[in-house]
Amino acid sequence: MVLYGLINMVTVDYPSLLTTTVVVFLGSWVLLFLLSYFLTPFYMKYGDQKSRAIYSAVYSLAFAFIIGVGYGLMPVLSQQYGFWPTMVIALVLVLILTLLQNYVLNLLVSKGVLKMARK
């Protein structure tokens, strides 16, 4: 199913685009989770393995979403709306997801779900 964009009549295959975005998101989440899981013991102390896994999953989720959307959707948005509006959207997305990520991690630490401290 091929749909046409409203601006510049850019041809976009939305099912393929969404599939690519989801695959890149999941692949990058797994890769970033593994990197975070094995590298954070160098600069963090964990109370248990569960805290380490939860921290790594939450920490890598926002970045994986940014990579998935950046790889899958940003080129299409750039073609349809131009470079600067797309960059503003990307910057706002990064800002919101980073704030949300920090809020969730701080909430989990304050509730006692995560037992961790900086080295």
Max Cα-Cα span within the chain: 55
Tell me the HSE value of 104 on the side-chain side, using a 13 A CA sphere: 15
- Cα separation, 84 vs 94, whole angstroms: 15
Residue 21 belongs to some domain of the structure: no
Q: Does residue 9 sit within a domain?
A: no
Confidence of residue 16 (pLDDT cuts 50, 70, 90): confident
Residue 18 lies in a domain: no
Domain contains 34: yes
62 lies in some domain: yes
**20 φ, ψ to 5°?**
-60, -45
Q: Is residue 103 part of a domain?
A: yes
- Domain with 98, as residue range(s), is 27-118
Count of domains for the chain: 1
**CA gap 118, 10 in Å, rounded:** 49
Question: Does some domain include residue 3?
Answer: no
Residues 17-70 pLDDT 10s: 889 899 999 999 999 999 999 987 777 777 778 888 898 999 999 999 999 998
pTM of the model: 0.76
- Please check whether residue 99 lies inside any domain of the structure: yes
